[in-house]
Structures are given as C-alpha cells and as structure tokens.
Amino acid sequence: MIDVIPGDNKQYAFMFLVTVALQYSCFAVAYLCEFDLITDFAGSMNFVLIAVLSLYLGGTFFPRQIVVTAMLCTTRVYLALYLFYRVCKRKSDGRFDKIRGSFCKFMGFWTYQIFWVYLVALPVQRINVSPNDVPLSPLDYIGWTLWTFGFVVQVSADLQKLSFRADPANKLKICKRGFWRYSRHPNYYGEMLMFWGLTMSGIPLWTAAVRNATLPMMTRMLIMNPATPPFSTLRRGSSFTYAC
C-alpha cells in the first residue's frame, strides 16, 4: 500500500483533500464563467477518481476490489455523460438560477457536493484499501445483484424521462411512463439501490459494518430533506413536475 500522507494508511485524509481540490477548482470555473456545464459532471467523475485512486494506492487488486471499482466507475461515467448531455441540450441548469450569481450560496452547493461524494464513495474506498482478501460471500452476490437492478432502474428511468420530454406535446405535463408511474424519483431509487449493493459487498471486511452501512443514506437524505440544495421539484397547483 502507498501512503501518500504519512500515517494515513486508509487514504481517508488524502481522498478528502483530492475531493476538496477538485470540487473547489470546478466551482471557481463555474462561478467565474457563470455556467452549469461541469457541475454534475464534476461530482460524478469525482467518484471515479476516488475509486481508481484508492484501488491503485491499495495495490492489492483483489476480485472484490476490482468488481466494486468497475461498478462504481460504470454508473458514475454513465451519469456524468448523461447529465452533461442534458445540461448542454438545455443550455443551463434551472436548479441554480437563483444562486448562480451568489458566491456564498453557489459555493455552498459545491461544499455540500464535497461531502456527498466523499461519504457516499467511502464504502468502495474502504474495500479498496483493505489488505485482507476475504473470500467472496453471499453478501457480495446479493449486493452485486442489487447494484445491477438499481443500475437498470436508473438508466431506464432516465431514458423514459428523456423520451417524454423530447415530445413538445408533453410540455408542462407530468411523466407517468414506465418507472415514473410508480415512483416520484425512480432514478434516485435506482441510485440508492446501487450504493446499498456496493456497501453490502464490503460488510465482510469491516468491523464497523453497521456504521458504514448507513453511508448510502446520504443519497436518501439529499432527496427527502427540504433543507438540502435544490432538486428540481416544482409544484403546479395540486400536481408536481420533476426536472430531474
């Protein structure tokens, strides 16, 4: 294992500093240029950076580590490209219309993104820096199945919503296609399933499994807590529309 910072053998401090540096650098570009093209892209690719760096610095490349790293990179690269395509098509992100011009408020969103990325990626980082090659268990296969189902739900929901919004006749209408018929945010539901699956795969390695298993709740908190930075949920009369 490579210790970038002496004594930081789990790379916790180093990965946090990497995340802070990347997010605040992107914040500076986004604020000075007054655009939203890199906001979600930076968040998603930060996950990939943490996964790949922790795997490399761990230096063991056990099967569990390779699988969870590949899974995390797959879902985040997909999300980065999808959201980048969407914001380029829309020209801007409506979530930031009221805060883009405020240094403190806009920086507050990026600060929140730092902790979201770092904490939600922590289970995979913890797996990658573990020197113990614990045999694969049923928890791994259950977790990977859960991740697969979550990924299918997320991608399907995104494409269903994209197709719905592409039809001008659906402007101001609520999407009730596919998974959107059953869930307010099926894409976020898929997101939570994926990170629960990745966390489940790492439980055999951890002595503090119960504590670490709560980390995917960060995504749920982002969705359910009205005090968090804005998701595009708009009320129109007695109905809701979603721009996520």
The pLDDT, as a whole number, for residue 171 is 87
The pLDDT, as a whole number, for residue 196 is 93
Mean pLDDT of all residues in 46-75:
96
Q: What six digits make up the tokens of 220?
A: 């749920």
16-25, 171-180, 195-204, range with greatest mean pLDDT = 16-25
Give the other-Cβ count within 10 Å of 216's Cβ.
23
Comparing CA positions, the residue from 244, 224, 225 lying closest to residue 233 is 244
Res. 224: pLDDT tops 90: no
The per-residue pLDDT for range 179-218, each reduced to its tens digit, is 999 988 999 999 999 999 999 998 888 754 444 555 555 5
DSSP element (H, E) containing 5: none
The pLDDT, as a whole number, for residue 144 is 97
- Give strand pairing partners of 242: 233
- Give strand pairing partners of 236: 239
Confidence bin at 1 (pLDDT 50/70/90):
confident
Report the chain's C-alpha Rg in angstroms: 19
Res. 14: pLDDT tops 70: yes
Tell me if residue 32 falls in helix, strand or coil: helix
Confidence bin at 155 (pLDDT 50/70/90):
very high
Contacts 24+ apart (CB under 8 A), 217-220: 218/115, 218/116, 218/119, 218/120, 219/116, 219/120, 219/188, 219/191, 219/192, 219/195, 220/192
Confidence bin at 221 (pLDDT 50/70/90):
low
Contact by Cβ (8 Å): 72, 124: yes
Res. 54: pLDDT tops 70: yes
Mean pLDDT of all residues in 6-30:
94
Give the span between the Cα atoms of 65 and 54, in whole angstroms. Answer: 10
The pLDDT, as a whole number, for residue 222 is 56
Sorted by where each begins, the domain ranges of the chain are: 12-242
What's 243's DSSP letter? Answer: -
Mean pLDDT of all residues in 55-64:
95
Res. 237: pLDDT tops 50: no
The pLDDT, as a whole number, for residue 241 is 42
pTM, 2 dp: 0.84
